[in-house]
Structure 1
Amino acid sequence: MFFYGLLTATFLFAGLVKGVTGMGLPTVAMGLLGMVMPPAMAASLLVVPSLVTNVWQLFSGSAVAALVQRLWPMLAAMVIGTVGGSALLVQVDPRWSGFALGSALIAYAVYALLAPALTIQRALETWLSPLVGLVTGMVTGATGVFVMPAVPYLGALGLHKDELVQALGLSFSISTLALAAGLLANDALRLNQLGLSSLSVIPALLGMGLGASLRARISPQRFRLCFLLLLLVLGLELASRPFI
């Protein structure tokens, strides 16, 4: 009973974060679940709610075809990196995969708190997109976290606000499918886990609805600061485990 309550609370909160900020569901879910279970199992449980909420976000506008045409080198490299890197998430000692997860959370939180302004020229995308995709895929495969360095990269491309929301949805959707394929290839994704993952869609969507309603009532900047500090604390706890 405790386990089901934990899943419900985790995805409700993760969905709320996504509803307010437009992202963060897999990151929050991996951070919280990674504290009580091996990261590979946590990654398996977030597959369905992550995919459903990100596909929803992807099709929230009309720029899908243009984004796929522009970003496909990054997405293709992301799939390769994620499927290849997922063996690390499954085979490495959970303490050290937790360390990798914690390090990824810390890196993202520190980056987002500092918020350096980056701009990438269109001409550089030809070689930079595949590189960013491959590195993001390897980090995703090894930790279950989709954000680094794809999120800063997408934010530096000069996309309009709505296009950026869709681009994040596209990147996260592809990452989720690639992670599921990698877990399946390494015999770490089982039918009962998919069932629990599917049940987690309900609290995730409820959380998104609550987050969307809260967005107009609270300061997004203050909420974002609290969210990033939470990720920093979770990351430090996970990264310190092998040394305790």
Structure 2
Amino acid sequence: MPPETGRLTLESLLHLTGDPAFWAACAVTLFAGFVKGVAGFAMPLIMISSFSAFLPPEQALAGLILPTLVTNVSQATRQGVAAAWDSVLAYRRFLIATLVMIVVSAQFVRVIPQAAFLMLLGLPITAFALAQISGRKLALRLEHRDRAEWIMGGIGGLYGGVSGVWGPPLIVYLLSIGAEKVETVRVQGVVFFLGALVLFGAHLQTGLMAGPNLWFSAALVLPAMAGQVFGQRVQDRMDQARFRRWTQGLLVLTGVNLVWRALML
């Protein structure tokens, strides 16, 4: 990866593009962007899981931040800025809880062991998704929706600051309330964008997003966007039932992957 410097130089760019790990990261990001375009989520999880096989943990986390930030701008505003703002207002409790906990937990990214966090998140996510696929009704009761937003948002933010992945609790919540496809994807974009923005700011302060890590992350924006565009074309042809099955299946894989990551740490 590029030399330890905060300035973007020709030397650093040549060093970056000459590293096989960089091209491997681009391929992973292209695929992750495609999945995100189809389902609206899972890009950070695919990236962090794959990156961990050939990159240091901190660089793996840094790499996903800017692609996540940029792709979610497109996803959140696909139906217009007004629709995105409506989603902010409708899910404001979830957003507040998520953003606050991302800031808090990001400060401990270098000291908190991730294995226990990932296991505690992965097991219930997997169980929930499998139950949904099997036809069991596990929807949250609407009279407790406000409380559920605070709790699920806080859980997502807690894990997000440490691992860069805060989507699964949101997906569980949206599946539970029966949100339709367009709303689901837009709300994911809004929550993920604001979360990525806060995570980026938090790790500018921690020093994680500086020098080579910053430029590495910036270089992955293009393959992320390209993959997302192709994925969105597939999503547009899906009906609600098929989209829900895709979401449930990816949620199972997400949970299993979180458990696997915990066991490998």
Give the TM-score band, short-chain normalised.
0.7 to 0.9
| C-alpha distance 127-106 of structure 1, shift in aligned 2 (>3 A) | closer
Q: Could you tell me which residue of structure 2 aligns to residue 156 of structure 1?
A: 176
Task: Provide the residue aligned with 1:52 in structure 2.
Answer: 70
1:233 and 1:131 map into 2 onto residues whose CA distance is 22
TM-score (normalizing by structure 1) = 0.82
Is 1:3–2:26 an aligned residue pair? no
Kept after mapping to 2: 8 A contact 1:51/1:177? yes
Letter in 2 for 1:241: M
Report matched runs for 1:105-184 at 5 Å. Answer: 105=122, 107-115=124-132, 117-184=137-204
Cα distance in 1 for residues equivalent to 2:146 and 2:210: 38
SS in 2 for 1:145: coil
Residue 82 of structure 1, aligned match among 86, 102, 111:
102
The aligned length equals: 239
Q: CA deviation at 1:236?
A: 4.5
Cα displacement string for residues 25-46 of structure 1 (whole angstroms, at most 9, x for unaligned residues): 1111111112333443222111
SS in 2 for 1:91: coil
Instruction: Report the alpha carbon displacement of residue 134 of structure 1 after superposing the two structures with TM.
Output: 1.5
Tell me how far apart the structure 2 counterparts of residues 104 and 10 of structure 1 sit (CA, whole Å): 23
Structure with max Cα Rg: 2
The residue type equivalent to 1:20 in the other structure is V
State the partner residue of 2:217.
197
Structure 1 match to 2:263 = 240
Residue 39 of structure 1 contacts residue 144 of structure 1 at CA under 8 Å; is this kept in 2?
no
Instruction: Report deviation, 1:105.
Output: 4.7
Q: What is the CA RMSD across the aligned residues, in angstroms?
A: 2.9
Q: State the identity as a percent.
A: 26
1:67 and 1:217 map into 2 onto residues whose CA distance is 23
Query: Among 36, 49, 61, which residue is 1:31 paired with?
Result: 49
CA distance in 2: counterparts of 1:123 and 1:224, whole angstroms: 25
Shift of 1:53: 0.9
Mark the CA change 1:221 to 1:156 in structure 2 (over 3 Å): closer, same or farther.
Answer: closer
- The amino acid across from 1:238 in the alignment is R
